Structure 1
Amino acid sequence: MTATATMSPPAIAAYVAETIDPIFATIDAWRDALEAGLSRHPEPTAALLDPIVSALVHPALEGPGLITGAGFVATPGYLADAQWHLAWWLAGDGARGAAGVRRLAAVSDPDSEDFRDYTGLEWWRVPERTGTRHLTGPYVDYVCTDDYTVTITTPVRAAGRMVGIVGADAYAARLELELRQVIRGTGAPCAVVNASGRVVTATESRREPGSILRFDGLSDALAPLREADPGVVAAVLPGGQSVLACGDTSLALVIG
């Protein structure tokens, strides 16, 4: 793939989907394994759950790839021995002086001044509302890495209710490098945005990752991506820009 290669917008949208889909598939497999395990334990505990989550996510964090953090976050009150609980691990980063996979040191005491109610964050709030997976970001992840991050999460259900979310983080810079080369193939200004219109990567430097793309009609065009059953997203905005969904990733191309 070269920067000068010309590709049709549908081909570029398909490439974006193919880049993200392996992460989705990995997370879906984790969800299925957790739901199967939790179905056998009507009163699960953090002590029971944590080794299961650790074994699931470690392979993805130890090898090459886009995933830099992963784990499970419990619905408050679900676990018998932990009112609030994050079972989340981070990939090692030699440049930061940390080698190997390490567990996130999360604050779970609501009385601590460092405690943060994660149920108000987008990566929790949207899957809880829609019942399906969601891509949040890029945003500065003050909980885990203090870096621009993309987080993909999906609900975990047991006994007919959501008992938490399972998900993964990817550094926005890595994802941007992965996608920027191919979107240049449109031969026109182009951006990959999430369902909120937040830029993941773009051909123009003024459209920085994490910024909101503001075009008339864009929010309405992206609205189906914010629902559990998005259907097909393909639109032309009043200003002439075209919008095309990247499969079912909740990302879209905005060209023009």
Structure 2
Amino acid sequence: MSGDPALELVRCAAAVGAAIDAVLDPLAALGRTAARHLPAPGRRSSTADDLAFLRPSIHALLREGPAGLHGAGVVAQPSHPADAAIHLEWWEREGGLLRPRPSNLDLHDERFSDHPRSPWFTVPRDEGRGVIDGPYVDLHGDGLYVMTFVLPVDVDGAFAGVVAGDVAVNTFARPIVPVLRRLGGAAVVTAEGRVVVATTPEWAVGALVGDTPPPGSHMERIAVSTPVAQWRVLRSVRDV
């Protein structure tokens, strides 16, 4: 590693924050569009026509948005607790084509069917902030590690649903890796300690990393400043 270690940690945290913002900024634009077209909570549940009106904006996000974005859409809040339907408009990018998520898959996909109790939906609903879910293996895609970036949508000051996008971890990591390598053995981890990207095979993507360093070493860390993710950059340093 070259340069001042503390400064390199700061630079790496800034690079991670910039990569997160590169996904959230266009997703926030989709959220503003959704807020103009979804019904106010309590009046009625979103209809297929309400959600279909957002389709061109979702398509534009997938075609022109951040690299590695291979799925995006809107999940609306039901108007009544007894409404068990999935109010969803979700599209995926497959090569140069866009395809909708099949409705029969929605009903059996736990990530969507159980969304009223899933953190990616309850955190935006109950805390009014975005969240990043993952990394996890996308079993309905190419088997890659992905993360889901989620932002709340408010209509008339009340929670109306979320906008979300699935991003491939390997693509998300590309601008981070060169900066991370300057730290030597290092990793970016989530609040739960799950590895997002690392420069050492000892820390595999998706693995859980504790705060206890390997024998004969100590851990340096810095928080990534972002309201949607309490991530950290970790650096393992061998004791002299």
> Fold-level match, TM-score > 0.5?
yes
Which string of whole-angstrom CA distances, capped at 9 and with x for unpartnered residues, describes residues 191-235 of structure 1?
Answer: 111222111001111211111111149xxxxxxxxxxxxxxxxxx
**Corresponding residue number in structure 1 for 2:116:** 119
Q: TM (normalized to structure 1)?
A: 0.75
Distance 1:30 1:143, change over 3 A: same
Matched residues, percent identical? 26
| Equivalent residue number for residue 202 of structure 1 | 198
For 2:22, the equivalent position in structure 1 comes to: 22
CA contact (8 A) 2:46 2:76 kept: no
Structure 2 counterpart SS, 1:101: strand
The match for 1:254 among 221, 234, 240 is 234
Corresponding residue SS for 2:209? coil
Q: Which residue of 1 aligns with 2:13?
A: 13
Q: For 1:55-204, what aligned pairs fall within 5 Å after superposition?
A: 55-63=56-64, 65-77=67-79, 83-93=85-95, 99-107=96-104, 116-142=113-139, 146-186=143-183, 188-204=184-200
SS, match of residue 195 in structure 1: coil
Shift in CA distance, 132/19, structure 1 to aligned 2, threshold 3 Å: same
Residues 86, 106 of structure 1: 8 Å contact kept = no
Change over 3 Å in CA distance of 1:143–1:158 after alignment to 2: farther
RMSD (CA atoms): 3.1
> What is the TM-score when the length of structure 2 is the normalising length?
0.79
Cα gap change, 1:38 to 1:75, in 2 (>3 Å): closer
Contact 1:135 1:194 survives alignment (8 Å): no
What does residue 96 of structure 1 align with? none
Runs of 4+ in 1 over 3 A off after TM superposition: 4-7, 39-45, 76-79, 106-110, 112-116, 142-146
SS in 2 for 1:69: strand
Letter in 1 for 2:91: W
Q: How far is the alpha carbon of 1:107 from its aligned partner?
A: 3.3
Which protein has the bigger strand share? Answer: 2
Secondary structure of the residue aligned to 1:192 is strand
SS at match of 2:165: strand
In the aligned structure 2, how far is the partner of 1:69 from the partner of 1:240?
39
Greater shift after overlay, 138-147 or 244-253? 138-147
Q: Which residue does the alignment assign to 1:225? A: none
Residue 242 (structure 1) shift = 2.5
* Counterpart Cα distance in 2 of 1:107 and 1:166: 21
> Which secondary structure does the structure 1 equivalent of 2:193 belong to?
coil
Task: Indicate the larger mover: 15-24 or 44-53.
Answer: 44-53
